[in-house]
Amino acid sequence: MAELYTVENLRLSLADMTRKPLLGAAPRIEVLRGLSFSIAKGEIIGIVGGSGSGKSTLGRALIRLLEPSGGSIRFDGQDITHLGEEALRPHRRRFQMIFQDPMSSLNPRHRVGQIIAGPLRLHGFDRVEARVMQALDHVGLPRGFAQRYPHELSGGQRQRVGIARAIALEPEFILADEIVSGLDVSSQAQVLRLLEDLVRELGLTLAFISHDLSVIRRLCHRIMVLYRGEIVELRQTAELFADPQAAYTRELLEAIPLPDPEQRWI
């Protein structure tokens, strides 16, 4: 399989503003400490870790919302590690993001139709109206929802709008950052099923960030476990669950409360 992303020795540090002295520069925190991996076209990769593991920072580096401080990211053969905003613009459409909290990532003053149409216009697509309708069809929302405002929708429906906005641009890669952690179990199941279907239908490549291994077991082909900015395990999903190698992976697995009173847990 061809590779969509090739990442080598990726490093990223950010200023630690909580420890910034009154005068002078803030000390740097190493958030990503030399990550190397690749993502194949059509693959669904899970990125898992606790708070502060660097999983969201990694996601944001992949779609170049953040600039790495070392190493390289190649997207579809091209080095995008340090591309400037101008040079990135033609690529932006090709990698899209779905956010954790649809309430704060969807403009409350815009109707769903406008929300999905905005990026389409920005990227110069034709037949915008038709594409909006098609995106709504894809995520299983009635076309009439184009006229509604985000506050009129349930959490699961809002998350579908976020997905529709991303796929309308016909991207090759989608980053989904904790997109089901705010949903209750039944909407969670629906959104995950939907993503599974869309990836297959539209030939997408997906990176799915989560702190919960049980949520991503069904969805992901491979899983990367991050701990303090380093990859502690990166393997096929079935293998990882059958025989977790890293102590941190086991800790994450054992922390999950299975819906089973017999499981020894507390």
**Which residues does residue 46 pair with via DSSP β-bridges, in sequence order?**
208, 223
Mark residues 158-197: x for contact with another protein by CB under 8 A, - for none: --------------------------xxxxxxx-xx----
Is 96 or 187 the residue whose CB approaches another protein more closely? 187
Is 86 or 260 the residue whose CB approaches another protein more closely? 260
- Interface residues for another protein in 224-263 (CB under 8 A)? 241, 251-261, 263
When asked if residue 100 is in the footprint of another protein (CB under 8 A), the reply is no
When asked if residue 17 is in the footprint of another protein (CB under 8 A), the reply is no
Whether residue 187 contacts residue 181, with contact meaning beta carbons closer than 8 Å, is answered with no
Tally the residues of the chain: 266
When asked if residue 118 is in the footprint of another protein (CB under 8 A), the reply is no
Stretch that binds another protein, among 28-36, 70-78, 85-93, 205-213 (CB under 8 A): 205-213
Adjacency order of strands within the sheet including 44-48: 95-98, 173-177, 205-210, 44-48, 222-227, 230-236
Is 116 or 179 the residue whose CB approaches another protein more closely? 179
When asked if residue 137 is in the footprint of another protein (CB under 8 A), the reply is no
Q: Contacting another protein (CB under 8 A), which of 28, 82, 121, 218?
A: 218
Whether residue 173 contacts residue 206, with contact meaning beta carbons closer than 8 Å, is answered with yes
Which tokens is 190 given? 């629906």
Other C-beta atoms lying within 10 Å of the C-beta of residue 265 = 11
Q: CB neighbours of 170 closer than 8 A, spacing ≥ 6?
A: 93, 202
Is 36 or 263 the residue whose CB approaches another protein more closely? 263
Q: CB neighbours of 261 closer than 8 A, spacing ≥ 6?
A: none
Q: Where does this chain bind another protein (CB under 8 A)?
A: 50-51, 154-155, 184-190, 192-193, 211-215, 217-218, 241, 251-261, 263, 265-266
